[in-house]
Amino acid sequence: MRDCYFIVADANMEQAVRGMLQRARFDLTLGCGLFVFDPSNPSQDLLRAVGDNDPGLYQRIESYVRPVRESHRHLAVLIDAEWSGSPGAAKIRADILEACHRSGWPEGDAVAIVMDPELEVWIWQDNPAVEKAIGHQGSSLRAALAVSGVWPEGSPKPPRPKEALEAVLRRNRVPRSSALYRRVAGQISVNACVDAAFVELRSALRRWFPPPVSWSSQQGE
């Protein structure tokens, strides 16, 4: 069996996962043990819900998670919380986990990573790498967005992360593409990302693939 299967709702999520897992020694970045994710053939371990996006993936989740029960040890489903007709993050998460259970996934071997409101909440960090990727130059982007009210002081993320990203990209004349999400995910600080959904994914990977004892000890020093 292979190690872990990732099911994502759209192309942006697909590229974000690829950017995260195609880093050199991504295991050290994430603080987990090394597991197999083949960058030359990511389709072995990664599926995008082509044509379905968030609502279709949610509505037909069992048809996605059942076929890979016998091929992979662990499963991570990534989906946004905000879309037309969404029942909300808590119910999406509960329904996906129930579908996984019905499909034969043991409790703890599958996680539902629901990004609230959307994937863009992962991108926003006060980080030069993020600023460069979205075409910002000059003084601190964080400070500029605070002045405009887009990213209020004291808030870990902009309240409307997707709209904030789109506004900055338009202003800087940077095309919004899936490749952007891959570049950012390949450079952002994993430890600086405090979003609950990301922390849940990172924790699951650390639980499923514990780091070597010697490395863990060094991290705790």
pLDDT tens column, 29-54: 899 999 999 877 878 999 999 999 99
What would the two tokens of residue 209 be? 């693939």
Residue boundaries of the structural domains of the chain: 2-119+178-216
Give the other-Cβ count within 10 Å of 151's Cβ.
Answer: 23
pLDDT tens column, 63-105: 999 999 999 999 999 999 999 999 999 999 999 999 999 999 9
Q: Which CATH number fits domain 2-119+178-216: 3.40.1130, 3.40.1360, 3.40.50, 2.170.15?
A: 3.40.1360
pLDDT tens column, 94-135: 999 999 999 999 999 999 999 999 999 988 888 888 888 888
pLDDT number for residue 215: 54
User: How much is the average pLDDT of 173-185?
Assistant: 89
Provide the Cα torsion 16, 22, 27, 32; round to 10°: 40
pLDDT tens column, 10-25: 999 999 999 999 988 8
Higher pLDDT, 78 or 141: 78
Confidence of residue 214 (pLDDT cuts 50, 70, 90): low
pLDDT number for residue 156: 85
Q: Give the residue carrying structure tokens 């600080």.
A: 189
CB within 8 Å of 107: residues ≥ 6 apart: 101
Strand partners, 110: 75
pTM of the predicted model, to two decimals? 0.90
Cα 67 off chain centre by = 22
Counting beta carbons within 10 angstroms of the beta carbon of residue 200, is it exposed (0 to 12), middle (13 to 18) or buried (19 or more)? Answer: middle
> How far is residue 73's CA from residue 69's CA, in Å, rounded to a whole number?
7
SS3 11: helix
> How far is residue 216's CA from residue 205's CA, in Å, rounded to a whole number?
14
Determine if residue 214 is left, alpha or beta; phi over 0 gives left, psi from -120 to 50 gives alpha, anything else beta: alpha
Whole-angstrom distance between the N-terminal and C-terminal Cα of the chain?
35
pLDDT of 217 strictly over 60: no
